[in-house]
Structure 1
Amino acid sequence: RRYGFSRQPGKTEQAEDKKIVLPPGLAAAGKAEPCDEDDLQAAEELRIKTLMTGMAAMATEEGKLTASTVGQIVGLQSDEIKQIVSEYAEKQSELSAEERPERLGAAQQHRRKVASLNKQILQKNKLLEELQAKCTDLQAKCTEAKKTLAEVKSYSEKLDKELAALETIESQADSSILQSLRALVAMNENLKSQEQEFKAHCREEMERLQQNIENLKAEAVENAEEQEPNKIIEQQYRTEKDKLQKIRLLLARRNREIAILQRRIDEVPSRAELTQYQKRFIELYSQVSATHKETKQFFTLYNTLDDKKVYLEKEVNLLNSIHDNFHQAMASSGSREQFLRQMEQIVEGIKQNRMKMEKKKQENKMRRDQLNDEYLELLEKQRLYFKTVKEFKE
């Protein structure tokens, strides 16, 4: 009876155990209900005494813990363990203070206990909020990790499919082509590495030049006396640079004009090229003329043979008609005279056709002689032309 309260066995101990099991939140809620101050103080003192009794029992066992106690301690987080240790130290200090009742009153002790418990409740609530925030963060990270894992799996499956397709194509392709492709890929990688080295060298050179520029600027700032001449020199440099740029533009314009004129001059054929063109055209004309002449002869031969065929068919038909009607025409004198008249008409028509053909033959012959004379004149002109060209060249 440290605090002046008697402990009743039996049902009172069971009630004390039930009160101790309640969490801090429910205990705080229970304090809000209207109750007697002595009852509250008695409940708090019983809870603290029971807690300290358990701790003392654990301390008397010289560090021997059961398996369940070890599992509970291992399951706790390090922060919670530290907090429990600090609470234990606070409780011990409070109990040591409670052992001096002559100095502190019961109401003051109760207020201190209530303040300590409220502080613990706030700490537990804060810890709960931190754990909830960590849980939410971990859930978000887990969701993101699952999403990333799904994307990686899909990408891996896609790569596996593409790799299988490439292996199929590689097995079906020609080995020489694959060898050349591998050589080209190796060359490409080599060129990329050379490009990276060149870029790195360029960056180093640029940094060096920039450092030189900065050094020169620093030297120019230090040499304040030479600043004005440097400005004059820089102005002259800019002026000369502008002049050089204008001269380059003018030179480029002149070069373009010269190139255009050169192309126009190149487009005009020279005398040797004209002579070659002329010879080639003459050769082509000779070939075309020979082909035309040969084709014309074939057409003439075909027309002649066709006319000969027509006349032979007419002659055969006439002879067949005479042979068929001869015996019938000779049967009587009237039919004989009619037959003879028809024969005379046929002979007269043949003579007229012959005269027409002879006339046409004479006309064609005269036309041939005229064309031959024209051809001879053209040959004479051609010889005169070649002779003149030769004399002109000489």
Structure 2
Amino acid sequence: MFSVDGTQDVYGELCELLVAGGYFRARITSLSPFDKIAGGLAWGIQSSREAIDVEFIEDANIGHKIKIGENIEAALCNMNCPFPLAAHQVQGLDFPQIFPVVQWLLKKVISTREENARALREHADLCFKRSMGDVLTEDLAPRTELVPKRVYKRRNLEEGFQSAEDHVLSVLLEYGQKSKLLAEVEADKTEEEEAEKEALQQLEEAELDKLLELMGSYKAAQKLTGKDVTAAMARDQQSIDRYSELFQERELLLRQQREAEEAAKNASAKLELRKQELVQDIEAQLQALQAAQEEYAGATAELEVCNKAAEQAERRNARIRTEIERIGGDLDPKRQEALRILEGLLKKNEGLEQEKEDVIQKCRKQLQAWKTLLEEAKNDAPQAENEHYRQLEEQHQEEHEKLQELLHKVAKQNRAISNTQRKIDTIPTRAELVQYERRFVELYDQVRWKFEETKQYYVRYNTLSETINYLKKEMDLLDSIHEKCEQVLGTRAAEQLPAVIQQTTESVVASKNRVVNKLQAEKQSTQTLSDMCNTLLAKQRAYFSGLKEFQEECNKNENLKSLLEKA
């Protein structure tokens, strides 16, 4: 049995052991010893990859603590813990019994961590090898990469370029790369656009051929003169810039045209959808009116955008037409053919613009018609609808009041159920009563053992105290005899000294005999009580044996009754 100081020492060692293992909640001074110890055991079990169902509650009652102890006991049994630990020992904080279990758990946690680290390391190596391969292969050796190689070289480096685009194109040609101005043109264009693309590609190839004529081989660049390069670069440079601008404007115009067509289609689809919604939702005319107004505002905004886009397109068409007429006489037959293609595309664009205007006018007429229809529907709404809405509102209010009453009743019933549940929880169950009984028996045994130990200490103290008293009396007697002997040796009283000593000796012997008789009486009483205890133990064994036989007979009786009922 540990003393109070020894128990506190063991508790301190337990806390230090848990903190060293990684359970740092044991440092919190505000936690109770039960929370620290039970939490440390649960943490150790969970860290050892063992399942445990524990729910901690601040200031838990004895029933909840016993339940936690039972869960910990079951988990330790599943882990094959070599040190037995009962639930009442966890609840009663039996530190000497808990200490070896905590030591074993921490060893288990450390071994589990090592296994996890090893498995994680192997998994990381496997993933690295799958993605990167063997690190010692030649994949990590220095590799030479392909670098651009110069094929052509400008002969006259002093002259500049008309634009940055020409500079980029020239540099790309020096390294053997031909830039395509039509790389971003979509693949799903119409036949006219494909024809336009082919014409522009031919023009581009012709210009590239001219640039290549101005370029020489990188090795034979010194054979050309600077005058040739200057003449080649200055040739038709202005025409190239104009065609590039025309192509960019045409591409922008086509993109805006597609956006305008999509906007018109979206507006028409929205109006048709709005028509269907009005037919289906005639009972909600007020809400439909508001939605139609919002739709009208959106369509008006889209219409304004379309008008602006059309005006911009017309201005661009006029500018392009003027530019074509201006440069038409200065071009060769091939480029005039390309310009005729562009003129045809512009005429087609004008036709599309006219169709777009027709669609917009049609959308405006439909929008005005639907707006008129909505105004008529709003003005001609029958009074019956309003009465119907009012009745629905009243019915909704009544149902809402009934719902509130039912909710109040449900809340009241829930409070009653909660009160009943709390009262039921205050009544201990059979398992709790068994635990209480077991704990009371253990507490009784502990108190009885403590009482017997204390009683033995008292008996030993009393015995030693009496022994000391007798020794003191003996010393006092011997001292008095010694003093009197010195005083009476030379006097007449010396003759009476042996008689006095004899009388004292007889009194001491009589006292000794009384103590011996008392000891014999106590031994006799102890023997009698021991015989009575043995007799009671025999009766208890007979009682338990009879009770066991009675239970077996009761079980047999139940089995026979069940067999008779089945028969």
Taking structure 2 as the reference length, what is the TM-score of the superposition?
Answer: 0.28
Q: Highest Rg: 1 or 2?
A: 1
Give the TM-score taking structure 1 as reference length. 0.38
More helix by share: 1
